[in-house]
């Protein structure tokens, strides 16, 4: 009987190909169950005041108080500056 010679073939690894990195594919998001939106049409909307209206509100009072405070503060600072200038003039006159 003739004998067969068995030869072992070694597995060769394929060569690595250098490629640019591909963008990662986005993962699939889990599907969430959503409740159905209720269709609301023709709702009654109250009338809005026009943009330019001349009504006195609490915000108007706040702005008025702030304006008076700023004006008084600026007049006080102006008075202090005038006093210091008078003192400097008196010192220079001596």
Per-residue pLDDT reduced to its tens digit, 10-27 = 667 667 666 666 666 666
**Is the model's pLDDT at 59 over the cut of 80?**
yes
Per-residue pLDDT reduced to its tens digit, 70-90 = 999 999 999 999 999 999 999
DSSP, res 52: S
Cβ(55)–Cβ(49) below 8 Å = yes
What is the C-alpha separation between 46 and 42, in angstroms, rounded?
12
pTM, 2 dp: 0.44
Can you give the pLDDT at residue 46? 77
Average confidence score pLDDT of the chain = 80
N residues, the chain? 94
Q: What angle do CA 57, 58, 63 make, to 5 degrees?
A: 100
Can you give the pLDDT at residue 61? 96
What is the C-alpha separation between 4 and 85, in angstroms, rounded?
121
Buried b (16+ CB within 10 A) or exposed e, 70-92: eeeeeeeeeeeeeeeeeeeeeee
Domain boundaries, the chain: 56-94
């Amino acid at each position: 009987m003739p004998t067969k010679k068995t030869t072992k073939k070694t597995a060769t690894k394929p060569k690595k190909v250098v490629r640019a990195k591909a963008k990662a594919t986005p993962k699939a998001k889990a599907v969430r169950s959503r409740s159905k939106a209720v269709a609301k049409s023709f709702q009654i909307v109250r009338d809005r005041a026009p943009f330019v209206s001349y009504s006195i509100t609490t915000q108007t009072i706040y702005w008025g108080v702030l304006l008076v405070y700023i004006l008084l503060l600026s007049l006080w600072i102006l008075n202090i500056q005038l006093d210091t200038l008078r003192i400097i003039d008196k010192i220079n006159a001596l």
